[in-house]
Amino acid sequence: QKEVEQNSGPLSVPEGAIASLNCTYSDRGSQSFFWYRQYSGKSPELIMSIYSNGDKEDGRFTAQLNKASQYVSLLIRDSQPSDSATYLCAGPGSSASKIIFGSGTRLSIRP
């Protein structure tokens, strides 16, 4: 069974610093991964997708995929208090119609 694992945190980062969130996965054949952000009491929303080895940048966010080591990371530069949320890593499920989610890492940005 495919698995996606994350450290639950909480991860505390000072405002303005780089927050680094990590995720490992079990299926070596997985090609694409996704990061969802979930604010407390709200529903998840997709913030980044990555489909190939290497880095993908979008504003303050960078997603990194390392297929050889089977890990995915999300870097948030110039962290802001509004980045405080739970970040869910997701990867392909057992069929093309599904994705599986990690348990999420809670990020807290301290002023």
Footprint of another protein (CB under 8 A): 8, 32, 34, 42-46, 49, 88, 90, 93, 96-104
Q: How far is the CB of 78 from another protein (least distance, A)?
A: 26
Residue with tokens 């940005």: 109
Contact between 40 and 27 under an 8 Å Cβ cutoff? The reply is no
Look up residue 78 and give its two tokens: 């110039």
Q: How far is the CB of 100 from another protein (least distance, A)?
A: 8
* Radius of gyration for the alpha carbons in the chain, expressed in angstroms and rounded: 13
Q: Which is nearer to another protein, 17 or 46 (CB)?
A: 46
Q: Which is nearer to another protein, 19 or 100 (CB)?
A: 100
Q: Which is nearer to another protein, 98 or 110 (CB)?
A: 98
Burial class of residue 9 in the structure, from the number of CB atoms within 10 Å of its CB (0-12 exposed, 13-18 middle, 19+ buried):
middle
Q: How far is the CB of 32 from another protein (least distance, A)?
A: 7
